């Protein structure tokens, strides 16, 4: 391994990723494991987490399940108490759950749920992880937090892309992700002096294969909105996530890397 590839190595580092069993989460865990990280697979469900762990182990990676609900502060605290004394080199806040809709069809509880799993969970996770992140800084000189936001944190969904108002990307999703970007900047300023970098990635259109197969017209409309002329493949998040988690990004702090094929450039 040459000096340049060493920059992107995660060998000997432990990374926790939330929402790791989902469409984008699974792709990011593969990239982290391929870079040498010991990946802690978070999910609310043991069977989902274990499926991802087995997949990575079978591919020659290093992984363990981290089963807890990110919206439960007590569960988060319990997880980190059990890991007391062990460094955590990377924390990736990727968990999200929510439906579709518009302002007219959404109620306040949807906003509360989106904010809880996006911003409040990131706050609670970082706060609980601080001793482990600081230990990583002491032992390896660096620790990284990466928040997964969205292009809809910066621009509104084009409702003409969606088949109906009820299927539209909802207002509370982008609002929560925009809050996450601001929280990213705040955290970067608070913890940068501690050697803990905090950055964000804002993915663009990455439809799951089941969506592409079941609704090709929707996928075509997404492609038409992207300057690159195509939608993204989940694996294309691997490079950005490894970059921000590794020492290759050692002077990157408070940044938002937009991975949207140019959608937000129009």
Distances (CA, A) of 153 to 165, 170, 174: 19, 12, 5
98 alpha-carbon distance from chain centroid: 15
Q: How far, in Å, CA of 132 to CA of 90, rounded?
A: 10
Give the closest residue to 73 by CA, choosing from 152, 127, 16, 146: 127
Q: Are 258 and 228 in contact (CB under 8 A)?
A: no
Q: Are 234 and 26 in contact (CB under 8 A)?
A: yes
Q: Is 111 a catalytic residue?
A: no
Out of 96, 152, 172, 173, pick the active-site residue. 173
Q: DSSP for 19-56? A: TTTSHHHHHHHHHHHHTT-EEEEEESSHHHHHHHHHHH
Give the closest residue to 172 by CA, choosing from 261, 110, 82: 110
Tell me the catalytic residues: 173
């Amino acid at each position: 391994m040459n000096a340049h590839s060493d920059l992107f190595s995660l060998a000997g580092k432990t990374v926790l990723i939330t929402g790791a069993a989902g469409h984008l989460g699974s792709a990011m865990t593969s990239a982290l494991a391929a870079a040498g990280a010991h990946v802690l697979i978070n999910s609310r469900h043991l069977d989902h987490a274990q499926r991802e762990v087995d997949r990575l182990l079978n591919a020659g990676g290093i992984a363990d399940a981290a089963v807890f609900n990110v919206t439960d502060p007590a569960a988060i605290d319990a997880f980190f108490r059990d890991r007391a004394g062990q460094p955590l080199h990377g924390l990736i806040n990727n968990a999200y759950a929510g439906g579709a809709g518009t302002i007219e069809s959404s109620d306040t509880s949807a906003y509360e749920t989106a904010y809880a799993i996006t911003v409040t969970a990131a706050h609670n996770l970082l706060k609980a992880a601080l001793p482990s992140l600081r230990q990583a800084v002491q032992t390896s000189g660096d620790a990284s937090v990466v928040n997964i936001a969205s292009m809809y944190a910066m621009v509104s969904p084009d409702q003409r892309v969606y088949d109906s108002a009820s299927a539209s990307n909802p207002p509370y999703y982008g609002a929560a992700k925009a809050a996450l970007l601001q929280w990213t900047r705040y955290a970067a300023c608070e913890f940068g002096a501690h050697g803990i970098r905090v950055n964000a990635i804002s993915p663009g259109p990455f439809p799951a294969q089941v969506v592409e197969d079941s609704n090709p017209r929707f996928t075509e409309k997404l492609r038409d909105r992207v300057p690159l002329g195509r939608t993204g493949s989940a694996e294309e998040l691997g490079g950005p996530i490894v970059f921000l988690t590794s020492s290759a990004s050692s002077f990157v702090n408070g940044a938002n890397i937009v991975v949207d094929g140019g959608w937000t450039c129009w």
